Structure 1
Amino acid sequence: MDVVVLIGRVLFTVLFLASAMGHLTQTKAMAGYAASKGVPMAWAATFGSGLLMAAGGLMVLLGVWADLGALALAAFCFPTALVMHAFWRESDPQNRMADRIHFLKDVSLGGAALVLFAFFAYAGHDLGLMLTGPLFSIG
């Protein structure tokens, strides 16, 4: 079972780590998009969100306080869904559909991150292939 959890951790973090690289290496371009969505201090927000995704993704991937890493990823997903993908504000049908898909993706990933948080906090000490146990304890 430990290998299945490891595979799941790897697959779950691929999107976050790839996005983090984009946020950290293409900050100026991505900040322009964030500014167009009304994000204040767009450069700092873009760079900071890249750091948050990188830290949270690596924590989950490596099993270093994976519960805290999962919370960090959830903390990224929900505000991003609301601010960057507010599909209800879009008048163009194509942009509305694209933002709706991204909104639902971010909400779903945030929900999955919360499930991982609970899983790691509950069973983290019994899981193999983790570098540390959980920071939090449930149950």
Structure 2
Amino acid sequence: MKDILDLLGRGLLAFIFLYEAYDSIFYYEATKQKMTAYGLEWHQDLQLLGAIVLLTLGGTLLLIGYRTGLAMFMLLCYWIPVTFIVHAFWLDPEPERRLESIMFMKNIAIVGGLLMVWANGVGKYSIKRLFATTHVPGN
């Protein structure tokens, strides 16, 4: 049961990042406008393409359970700064502060989930495990 829950948890975490990558691609110009609103104006195309690569590659590696240390590093390099930039609730006026604080805490919980996967491994159902248990016949 633990292995199935590991797989399900990894899948749900990966879905967040893969969906964010999809959303950034599908709404590319709107995402750039939002970046401008948050003061991220330096080489926006490069930043956005870098974010899409980190999200897609990190999310895919997390989903399949291969090179998860690299995946966690990539996803955390994106997720932590974005959380502090986009959901800086302490800078918002009172009506928006409550919602932004909830969004901030949600993102911090996702960071916790990533750290748990990083610390505990990917479980039995992963590409890493498949490669480790596959025997190639000798010549």
Question: TM-score, normalization: structure 1?
Answer: 0.80
Q: Which residue of 2 aligns with 1:132?
A: 128
By how many angstroms is 1:97 displaced? 2.3
Which amino acid counterpart does residue 64 of structure 1 have in structure 2? Y
1:15 counterpart = 2:38: no
Say what the alpha-carbon RMSD is for the aligned residues: 1.8
Is the partner of 1:39 in helix, strand or coil?
coil
CA distance in 2, matches of 1:39, 1:100: 21
**Structure 1, unpaired ranges of 5+:** 134-139
Is the partner of 1:19 in helix, strand or coil?
helix
Q: Percent of counterpart pairs with the same letter?
A: 24
Matched residues, number: 127
* Structure with larger RCO (C-alpha < 8 A, sep 6+): 2
By how many angstroms is 1:61 displaced? 0.3
CA distance in 2, matches of 1:47, 1:84: 18
**Structure 2, unpaired ranges of 5+:** 130-139
Question: TM-score, normalization: structure 2?
Answer: 0.80
Equivalent pair of 1:9/1:61 in contact (CA under 8 Å): yes
Which amino acid counterpart does residue 13 of structure 1 have in structure 2? A
1:33-54 superposed Cα distances (whole Å, 9 cap, x missing partner): 1110111333332332122111
Q: Which residue of 1 aligns with 2:83?
A: 81
1:1-22 superposed Cα distances (whole Å, 9 cap, x missing partner): 3222111111121111111101
CA distance in 2, matches of 1:118, 1:110: 12
